[in-house]
Amino acid sequence: MAHKKLGSGKLVLGITGGIAAYKAAELVRLLVKANIDVQVVMTEAACQFITPVTMQALSGKPVFIGMWDSSIANGMPHIELSREADAILVAPASADFIAKVVHGQADDLLSTLCLARDCPLLVAPAMNKQMWENPATQRNINQLKADGISILGPASGEQACGEVGLGRMLEAEALLAGVIAHFTPKLLAGKRILITAGATLEMIDPVRAITNLSSGKMGYAIAQAAADMGAEVTLVSGATALAMPSHVKNISATSAQNMYQAVMGNIATQDIFIGVAAVADYSPASPSTQKIKKSKSLLTLELTANKDILAEVASLPNAPFCVGFAAETENLLEYAEAKRQAKKLPLIVANLATNAMGSDDNQVTLLDKNGAHVLPRAPKIEIAKLLLQHVAGMLL
Ligand code: C5P
CA distances, 62 to each of 13, 72, 94, 250, 259 (Å)? 13, 11, 23, 43, 52
pLDDT tens sequence across 11-60: 999 999 999 999 999 999 999 999 899 999 999 999 999 999 999 999 99
Q: Are residues 145 and 279 in the same domain?
A: no
Residue 235 lies in a domain: yes
3-state helix, strand, coil in the chain (%, to 5): 35, 25, 40
> What is the reported pLDDT for 237?
97
CA of 128 to the centre of ligand 1 (A): 49
Ligand 1, residues 303, 310, 339, 351: which to mutate, most atoms within 8 A of Cβ?
310
pLDDT tens column, 317-348: 999 999 999 999 999 999 999 999 999 999 99
The helix (H) or strand (E) run that includes residue 109 is helix 109-115
pLDDT in tens, 277-312: 999 999 999 999 999 998 878 899 999 999 999 999
- Cβ 275 under 6 angstroms from ligand 1: yes
The total domain count for the chain is 2
Are 324 and 376 within one domain? Answer: yes
**Cα 250 from Cα 266, distance rounded (Å):** 12
Residue 164 reports pLDDT greater than 90: no
What pLDDT digit, counting tens, does each position of 127-157 carry?
999 999 999 999 999 999 999 999 999 998 8
- What is the Å distance from ligand 1's center to 188 Cα? 24
CB-based contacts of 2, cutoff 8 Å, min separation 6 = 118
On whether both 112 and 49 belong to a single domain, the answer is yes
Average pLDDT over residues 165-179: 93
114 is catalytic: no
d(CA 123, CA 151): 5
Co-location of 177 and 243 in the same domain = no
Specify the CATH number for the domain of residue 90: 3.40.50.1950
- pLDDT score recorded for residue 246: 86
Whether residue 4 is predicted with pLDDT greater than 50 in this model: the reply is no
Q: Which atom of ligand 1 is nearest to the CA of 280?
A: 21
**224 and 96 both lie in a single domain:** no
CATH number for position 251: 3.40.50.10300
Q: Which of 114, 119, 161, 322 is catalytic?
A: 161
| DSSP states along 237-297 | E-B--PPPPTTEEEEE--SHHHHHHHHHTTGGG-SEEEE-SB--SEEESS--SSPPPTT-S
387 touches ligand 1 (CB under 6 Å): no
- The answer on 223 and 101 residing in a single domain is no
What is the reported pLDDT for 116? Answer: 92
In a domain, 5, yes or no: no
What's the 313 CA to ligand 1 centre distance in angstroms?
A: 11
- The yes-or-no verdict on residue 243 having pLDDT over 70 is yes
Q: Does residue 333 sit within a domain?
A: yes
Boundary (domain end) residue, out of 146, 162, 183 = 183
- Which atom of ligand 1 is nearest the CA belonging to 328? 4
Is the whole-model pTM more than 0.85?
A: no
- Cβ distance 172 to 26 under 8 Å? yes
**Where does the pLDDT of residue 2 fall: very low under 50, low under 70, confident under 90, or very high at 90 and above?**
very low
Range of the domain at 347: 192-395
Q: Report how far residue 330's alpha carbon sits from residue 350's, in angstroms, rounded to the nearest whole number.
A: 11
% of the chain at pLDDT higher than 70: 95
Asked, for residue 3, whether it belongs to a domain, the answer is no
Give pLDDT, residue 7: 42
How many angstroms does the Cα of residue 41 sit away from the middle of ligand 1? Answer: 50
- Residues 272, 147 share a domain: no
Model confidence over 262-280: pLDDT tens digits?
999 999 999 999 999 999 9
The answer on pLDDT for 190 being more than 90 is yes
One-character DSSP codes across 4-15: PPP-S-EEEEEE
Residue 1 lies in a domain: no
Nearest one of 264, 274, 152 to 225, comparing CA atoms: 274
2 lies in some domain: no
List, for residues 373-392, the tens digit of each pLDDT value: 999 999 999 999 999 999 99
Is ligand 1 within 6 A of the CB of residue 267? no
Q: Is 200 helix (H, G, I), strand (E, B) or coil?
A: coil
Whether residue 224 contacts residue 245, with contact meaning beta carbons closer than 8 Å, is answered with yes
Average pLDDT across the chain, whole number: 93
Mutate to test the pocket of ligand 1, among 308, 366, 391 (most ligand atoms within 8 A of CB): 308
Pairing of strands 37-42, 87-93: unpaired
pLDDT at 1: 46
Task: Give the 3-state secondary structure of residue 324.
Answer: strand
